[in-house]
Amino acid sequence: MKFYYAPHTCALASHIALEEAGADYELARVDFAADEQRTPAYIAINPKGRVPSLVTPRGILTETPAILMFVAQSYPQARLAPLDDLFALAQVQSFNAYLCATVHVAHAHRMRGYRWADEPTAIAEMIRKAPQAVGECFALIEREMFVGPWVMGESYTIADPYLFTLAQWLELDGVDPKHLPKIADHRARMSERATVRKAIAAETSA
């Protein structure tokens, strides 16, 4: 398999999962600073012009929740999802869908308001609102969704690298992690995992 990523993006979640699974894959960096994501070569891989993208023997997968689930199902021995419990599996998918569709979108308003508006004042308002929007998302996770010690409880799942990846951006989004003790503790523990350190080192040293 070949995994396309860019540093400091949500691709880190899938990268960590590949490491957790012990998958055989090749890394391919997409240079956002050089607009490589918009080149014909990469658009042929992912017409959305975004990361992550995972080239598999059966085709190309995009979108973090889909890649995470594919990794979990392809490497069941890694126990990255409760594959034998349909309801628990749906809960993992529900959590990851919230991160993808709501939390990440709230974060994107801080830097990519041009996706939703052209008027400079509207974009400025999205930037101003971002800390509140992101903060409210994480407060909900802290209060209602995080079971502990891992996201879904005693078992580490694909929800953990995804939450960790988005929680890396809290300070940049103007959110103080001191108000989120469960998430802050989770982020600290994730940072100590060998798989996480390996993925981050590979992305930042390339």
Structure confidence by residue, pLDDT tens digits, 18-50: 999 999 999 999 999 999 999 999 999 999 999
Q: In this predicted structure, what is the pLDDT of residue 173?
A: 97
> For position 176, what pLDDT does the model report?
97
Give the CATH number of domain 86-193.
Answer: 1.20.1050.10
Boundaries of every domain in the chain:
2-79+196-205, 86-193
Q: What is the pLDDT of residue 44?
A: 98
User: Angle of helix 181-191 relative to helix 194-205, nearest 10 degrees?
Assistant: 70
Q: In this predicted model, what pLDDT tens digit does every residue of 126-171 receive, in sequence order?
A: 999 999 999 999 999 999 999 999 999 999 999 999 999 999 999 9
Q: Quick check: 206 pLDDT over 80?
A: no
Angle at 30 between CA 24 and CA 36, to 5 degrees: 150
* Domains 2-79+196-205 and 86-193 belong to one CATH topology: no
Q: Which pLDDT score is estimated for 205?
A: 87
Q: How confident is the model at residue 125 (pLDDT cuts 50, 70, 90)?
A: very high
pLDDT, tens only, 87-105 = 999 999 999 999 999 999 9
Our CA dihedral for 194, 197, 200, 202, rounded to 10 degrees, sits at -70
Tokens of 110: 């801080």
The tens digit of pLDDT for each residue in 160-177 reads 999 999 999 999 999 999
CA-based R_g, the chain, Å: 17
The percent of residues above 70 in pLDDT, for the chain, comes to: 100
Write out the DSSP string of 62-90: ESHHHHHHHHHHH-GGG--S-TT-HHHHH
Give the per-residue pLDDT at 72.
Answer: 98
Q: How far apart are CA 132 and CA 137, in angstroms?
A: 9
Question: What number does CATH give the domain 2-79+196-205?
Answer: 3.40.30.10
Q: What is the pTM of this model?
A: 0.97
* pLDDT greater than 90 at residue 1: yes
Residues in the chain: 206
By CB neighbour count within 10 A (0-12 exposed, 13-18 middle, 19+ buried), where does 44 fall? Answer: exposed
